[in-house]
Structure 1
Amino acid sequence: MKLVILDRDGVINYDSPQFIKTPDEWKPIPGSLEAIASLNQAGFRVALATNQSGISRGLLDMVTLNAIHDKMHRSLAQFGGRIDALFYCPHAAEAECTCRKPKPGMLEEIARRFGMDLDGVPSVGDSLRDLQAGLPLGALPMLVRTGKGEGTLAAGGLPEGTKVFADLAEAAQYIIREFA
């Protein structure tokens, strides 16, 4: 099985320092939905791993998060794309849970759900914590310059072997070319 792991905010949709709190605030980055559809069409399963501390902060509830994800799924379907599994951490950083990236809990759950090792599996994010989460499992870190990506790149300290792309569309082209 071919698998790709994606972060949500800043990779698929525009991010906001005030969090994405409503379906109206969820707006896809140009080319991102088509990129996911092209990964699907090339035989890749797509898993989403996203920190959503806005839930524990009281900025949105589960009904609203589900509505945001419903909008994402419907938007993707218009391009023939899909997310095969969606994982989120609702906790704030101070909760010290094992699922909040940069800890690997969500990615460990993805590995269990798909019954596979994540060694060499592309993991695309826009922040250092996205890249760090997959390292203990051998996932291949890929940084996009969208969202927080430019700032992450400028700050340095990227994991060894990190591939850097303009956006998800460019990353998807690389993944399809190198891993399909």
Structure 2
Amino acid sequence: MKNKAIFLDRDGTINIDKHYMYKIEDFEFVEGAEKGLKMFYDMGYKLIVVTNQGGIGRGYYTEEDLEKLNNYMEKRLLESGVKIEKCYFCPHHAEHGIGKYKKDCSCRKPKPGMLIEGIKEFDIDPEKSYMIGDKMSDAEAGINAGVKPIIVKTGKEITEEIEKSGIEIYSSIYEFALSLQKK
């Protein structure tokens, strides 16, 4: 039997978005995120982070900086009884990337590359899975990978495009977790 997963954007969804954040001292969970993630985990979902990190491509910070921050986040969540299976990231930017990072790739959301990789690596059933993010590009990545998109209001402003899209919108990860528990 295949696994079910919750794919998660990071900045603005799990943690407060602080524009090209890479320092541990700047990391702050969105209110209720830890509780919501624990609820998903307890419901048997594999938790997989998929995050665009154009700041690497622009030269603002390194892959090692990102790895340190993600390890910190994962450690904090483990202390709450939550396991993140993997943090996939896209360092590329077709327009603003520098050197090897300046390319049009298949992993930068809204393209589904990171989700497809997670689906293969963790034997995920897309039809039983969700993609949670705070932007239309997150939702589109989910749709493009065949998983159900969910938008949360904890990051970017909800656009008219999102409101008219028919995509389910929740105030936070925690609110969606409460709703999913009832299904």
TM-score computed with the length of structure 2 as normaliser: 0.88
Distance 1:14 1:93, change over 3 A: farther
Alpha-carbon shift at residue 20 of structure 1 (Å)? 0.6
2:175 maps to 1:170 = yes
1:113 is matched by which residue type in structure 2? E
Task: Quote the Cα distance in structure 2 between the aligned partners of 1:93 and 1:123.
Answer: 23
User: What's the RMSD between the two structures over aligned residues?
Assistant: 1.6
2:144 maps to 1:142 = no
Q: 1:25-64 to 2 correspondence within 5 Å?
A: 25-64=26-65
2:123 equivalent in structure 1? 115
Identity of aligned residues (%): 32
Alpha-carbon shift at residue 62 of structure 1 (Å)? 1.9
Task: Quote the Cα distance in structure 2 between the aligned partners of 1:57 and 1:124.
Answer: 25
Task: Quote the Cα distance in structure 1 between the aligned partners of 2:120 and 2:79.
Answer: 29
Count of aligned pairs between the two proteins: 174
Alpha-carbon shift at residue 115 of structure 1 (Å)? 2.1
Segments ≥4 residues shifted beyond 6 Å: none
Q: Which moved more, 1:93-102 or 1:156-165?
A: 156-165
1:156 equivalent in structure 2? 161
Task: Provide Cα deviations, 1:14-38, integer angstroms capped at 9, x if missing partner.
Answer: 0023x11211111111110121112
2:106 maps to 1:92 = no
Task: Provide Cα deviations, 1:31-83, integer angstroms capped at 9, x if missing partner.
Answer: 10121112111211111100011111111112211110111012112211121
Task: Quote the Cα distance in structure 1 between the aligned partners of 2:175 and 2:129.
Answer: 17
Task: Quote the Cα distance in structure 1 between the aligned partners of 2:50 and 2:127.
Answer: 17
Contact 1:141 1:159 in 2 (8 A): no
Q: What's the secondary structure of 2:182's corresponding residue? A: helix
Q: What's the secondary structure of 2:17's corresponding residue? A: coil
Q: What's the secondary structure of 2:126's corresponding residue? A: coil
Q: 1:72-87 to 2 correspondence within 5 Å?
A: 72-87=73-88
TM-score computed with the length of structure 1 as normaliser: 0.89
Task: Quote the Cα distance in structure 2 between the aligned partners of 1:28 and 1:122.
Answer: 20
Q: What's the secondary structure of 1:106's corresponding residue? A: helix
Q: Which moved more, 1:169-178 or 1:7-16?
A: 169-178
Distance 1:126 1:156, change over 3 A: same
